[in-house]
């Protein structure tokens, strides 16, 4: 019977005509293997390289690698909902990210939007700036390791970017920084966050693992880490809730405790607040830390780019304390291009965000698909699609700026080139389920990177192997030394780059 079932999935299923790995057509174990291995994002890219624009990656699942599909799947009028993949993320209550019901999501997002309004961002900026200042102090701190020319000890920037992102999220979410930048004993939570994210990915990839709670048997260390993370986040929420909204702190929870949905008059319950706090810690810290680490990785390997972006920042600002979110920082367009290009090459969410087709079906890339089909566009794959990004593995910030000369192709970037690139760019997803914290992430990244470039000269650590690099001879997708390697945990795990700092003469 199992053989007949397998044969039916291969030859008689409604998706039988779509190419893909044979095992993937029969069982989700194919996906589970790559989820556990940490290179699910690369396997989606490899499958599209082998099979083309549309790939069957599961018994009832199709992956599409095009900007048209990206819009048709994730757009505002798409006849889809989040797939049961997201059920593994729900504990103790659904949050804005993992809730599958569209009306519930809309209500949650309306409430959450109060914490991400322009006025809220302005009020919270001082917490971001204070933590960025501490970050820069730590990078240039005299730990006795500077050489005769003033270069610091090599620093693993994954660690420091993680510390910064978590300290900012602590300040914004729970009324206090976690002080990871300054206190090594406070850094244990990073491992818990990674364990929780990895567990969610594995259980989402094979939902029966979550439904039967057998992750505790199959992956005991990971499940235990996730449980400790949940306890940690609950403790942080409990402390912040005690402050209530009768405080002069204008952080996320000040706004969330006061916020009400204008349509229903409802705010968030305590379990919902816990759910949102879990989301803020994992999603809020990972995107910014990964993007910052990736940007630094590519900058120190592309010295002409590093020189230009450093000059841009130092031309726009007279002193470090002037570097805050606003029109001047916003006019640093090359800095923004450097960040966007790093997020294109090494997106923090590189895999697929699965959607389930609703009753009535959907047409994607001209293909009519029935209700119940799981569809998606993997971020890493589309970010390396040369229809949208010529020389897709080259770090070229100029591709985002019309009128700039692309140093690889030698031709000027046109408005159409930029539009084509933007149509396939989705590090924060797109449409109604796109990341509500996108604006905050850019504030954090531009502020931190601009201040770092203003205060310090940067270079690749001399004589040190960088764990962030690919290696010649490794498997397909891990073989490029010039690419910042990530491990797919639904979000991402990383290591490196190794960077040295020297205080700038004018600073």
Q: Could you list the residues known to form a binding site for heme, using ranges.
A: 435
CA quadruple 95, 97, 99, 101: dihedral positive or negative? positive
Q: What's the burial of 316, exposed, middle or buried (CB within 10 Å: 0-12/13-18/19+)?
A: middle
Neighbours of 159 (CB within 10 A): 18
Query: Can you tell me whether residue 462 is helix, strand or coil?
Result: coil
How far is residue 477's CA from residue 11's CA, in Å, rounded to a whole number?
30
Beta strand spans in 45-189 (E): 54-58, 61-64, 80-82, 155-156
CA 334 centroid distance within chain: 21
Which contiguous run of DSSP H or E holds residue 431?
A: none
**Contact assessment for residue 348 and residue 286, using Cβ atoms and an 8 Å cutoff:** yes
Instruction: Identify which of 56, 38, 35 has the alpha carbon closest to the alpha carbon of residue 47.
Output: 56
Q: What is the dihedral of CA 48, 51, 54, 58, to 10 degrees?
A: -90
Indicate the DSSP class of residue 10: I
DSSP string, 363-390: EETTEEE-TT-EEE--HHHHHT-TTTSS
**Contact assessment for residue 311 and residue 498, using Cβ atoms and an 8 Å cutoff:** no
Indicate the DSSP class of residue 343: H
Which contiguous run of DSSP H or E holds residue 173?
A: helix 157-174
Instruction: Identify which of 1, 28, 34 has the alpha carbon closest to the alpha carbon of residue 488.
Output: 34
Neighbours of 418 (CB within 10 A): 17
**Contact assessment for residue 109 and residue 101, using Cβ atoms and an 8 Å cutoff:** no
Binding site residue list:
435
Q: How many angstroms separate the first and last alpha carbons of the chain?
A: 73
Cα distances from 223 to residues 29, 175, 196, 282, 321, in angstroms, run: 19, 28, 7, 16, 43
Cα distances from 170 to residues 237, 343, 507, in angstroms, run: 10, 24, 29
CA quadruple 246, 250, 252, 258: dihedral positive or negative? positive
How far is residue 173's CA from residue 254's CA, in Å, rounded to a whole number?
9
Query: Can you tell me whether residue 250 is helix, strand or coil?
Result: coil
């Amino acid at each position: 019977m199992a053989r007949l079932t397998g044969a039916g999935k291969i030859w008689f299923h409604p998706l039988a005509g779509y190419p893909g790995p044979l095992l993937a057509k029969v069982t989700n174990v194919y996906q589970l293997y790559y989820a556990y291995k940490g290179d699910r994002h690369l396997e989606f890219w490899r499958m599209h390289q082998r099979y083309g624009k549309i790939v069957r990656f599961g018994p009832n699942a199709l992956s599409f690698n095009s900007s048209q599909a990206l819009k048709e799947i994730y757009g505002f009028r798409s006849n889809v909902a989040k797939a049961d993949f997201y059920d593994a993320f729900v504990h103790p209550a659904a949050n804005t990210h993992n809730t599958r019901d569209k009306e519930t999501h809309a209500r949650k997002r309306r409430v959450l939007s109060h914490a991400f309004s322009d006025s809220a961002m302005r009020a919270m900026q001082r917490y971001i700036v204070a933590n960025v200042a501490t970050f820069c102090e730590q990078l240039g701190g005299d730990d006795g390791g500077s050489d005769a020319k003033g270069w610091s000890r090599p620093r693993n920037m994954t660690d420091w970017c993680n510390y910064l992102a978590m300290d900012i999220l602590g300040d914004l979410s729970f009324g206090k920084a976690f002080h990871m930048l300054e206190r090594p004993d406070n850094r244990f939570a990073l491992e818990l966050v990674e364990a929780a994210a990895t567990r969610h990915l594995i259980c989402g990839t094979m939902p029966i693992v979550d439904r039967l709670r057998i992750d505790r048997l199959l992956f005991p260390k990971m499940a235990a880490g996730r449980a400790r993370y949940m306890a940690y986040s609950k403790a942080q929420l409990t402390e912040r809730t005690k402050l209530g909204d009768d405080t002069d702190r204008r952080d996320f929870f000040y706004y969330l405790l006061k916020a009400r949905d204008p349509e229903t008059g409802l705010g968030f319950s305590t379990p919902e607040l816990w759910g949102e706090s879990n989301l803020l810690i994992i999603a809020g810290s990972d995107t910014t830390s990964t993007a910052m680490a990736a940007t630094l990785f590519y900058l120190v390997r592309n010295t002409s780019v590093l020189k230009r972006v450093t000059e841009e920042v130092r031309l726009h600002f007279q002193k470090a304390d002037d570097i805050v979110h606003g029109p001047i920082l916003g006019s640093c367009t090359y800095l923004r291009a450097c960040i966007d290009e790093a997020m294109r090459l090494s997106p923090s969410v590189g895999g697929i965000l699965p959607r389930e087709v609703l009753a009535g079906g959907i047409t994607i890339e001209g293909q009519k698909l029935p209700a119940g089909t799981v569809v998606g566009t993997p971020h890493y794959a589309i970010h390396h699609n040369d229809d949208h990004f010529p020389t897709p593995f080259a770090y070229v910030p100029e591709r985002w700026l019309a009128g700039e000369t692309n140093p690889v192709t030698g031709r000027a970037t046109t408005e159409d080139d930029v539009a084509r690139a933007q149509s396939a760019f989705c590090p924060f997803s797109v449409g109604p389920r796109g990341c509500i914290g996108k604006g905050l992430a850019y504030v954090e990244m531009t502020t931190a990177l601009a201040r770092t470039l203003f205060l310090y000269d940067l270079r690749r650590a001399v004589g040190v192997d960088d764990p962030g690099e690919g290696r010649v001879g490794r498997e397909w997708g891990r073989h490029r030394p010039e690419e910042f390697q990530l491990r797919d945990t639904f979000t991402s795990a990383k290591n490196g780059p190794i960077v040295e700092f020297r205080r700038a003469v004018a600073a």
